[in-house]
Amino acid sequence: MEIGKKIMELRKKKGLSQEQLADKVGVARQTISKWELGETSPDLKQAKELSEIFNISLDELVDNDIKEILVEKTSNTEKLAGIILKLMKFIVVFIIVAPILLIVLRIIFKNIHEHNSGRLMDMSINCTLHDETYSYEFLYYETTGEIKEAGGDGYLANVTDVDNNYDAYQALDKIDAYVKNNGGTCKRSEAKPYKE
C-alpha cells in the first residue's frame, strides 16, 4: 500500500480530520491532502511524528514487511542453534566414548600381544661369586622372551647392564657369562608359568 493511502486509512481509524492531523504534525491541511493523494510524501521527521501519532513503527507506516525479515532471521538463528547443539552432542559423546574405546582397544591389543607372545613365565638365576650369593628374577613371555618385569640384586644389574635388555633369554645368558668369566657359578631355576 502506498504511504498516502496508509496515512488516510490510519487517520480515519483514529477519527481525525485532515485539519486535526495537520495541527498535530505541524503542517498545513493541504500538505496532508497532497500526502493522501500521493502527490508528495512526508519527510523523515514528519514520518516519525506520524508513526508516533498513529502508535506504529516507521516500517509499518511505509508498509515494510519486516515479518519476513524477522522470520528469516529467526529461521537462520534456529539453524545455527541446531548445528551448535549437534556439535555439542558430538563433543560430549566423543569425550565419553573415546576413553572407553581406548581402554577396550588397550585390553584387546594386550590380549593379542600376550597370545602371540606365549604364556607369562617366571624364572630366576642364583649365582655365587667371590663367596657372595646373588639372585635375579625375570617375568617374561615364553615365545618371544620379552621381559615384562625383572629385578633382583643391584650388583648383577650394574655389572651386566641387564636392566637394558628386553629379552630374558639374552639377559640370563649375560649374567651367566659374566659370573663364569669371573670364577663364579650360576644355577637357573626351572621356568614356571606365572600365576597372579
Sketch the domain layout of the chain as residue ranges. Answer: 3-61, 65-117, 120-193
Q: Please name the residues in contact with 187: beta carbons below 8 A apart, sequence gap of 6 or more.
A: 125, 126, 127
Three-state SS at 64 = coil
> What does the block give as the cell for 75?
529461521
C-alpha–C-alpha distance, residues 101 and 108, integer Å: 10
Predicted confidence pLDDT, tens digits, the chain (196 residues): 588 898 899 999 999 999 999 999 999 999 999 999 989 999 989 999 999 999 988 888 887 766 666 666 777 788 888 899 999 999 998 898 889 999 988 888 877 766 666 788 999 999 999 999 999 999 998 888 889 899 998 888 888 888 788 899 999 999 999 999 999 999 999 989 888 6
CATH of domain 3-61: 1.10.260.40
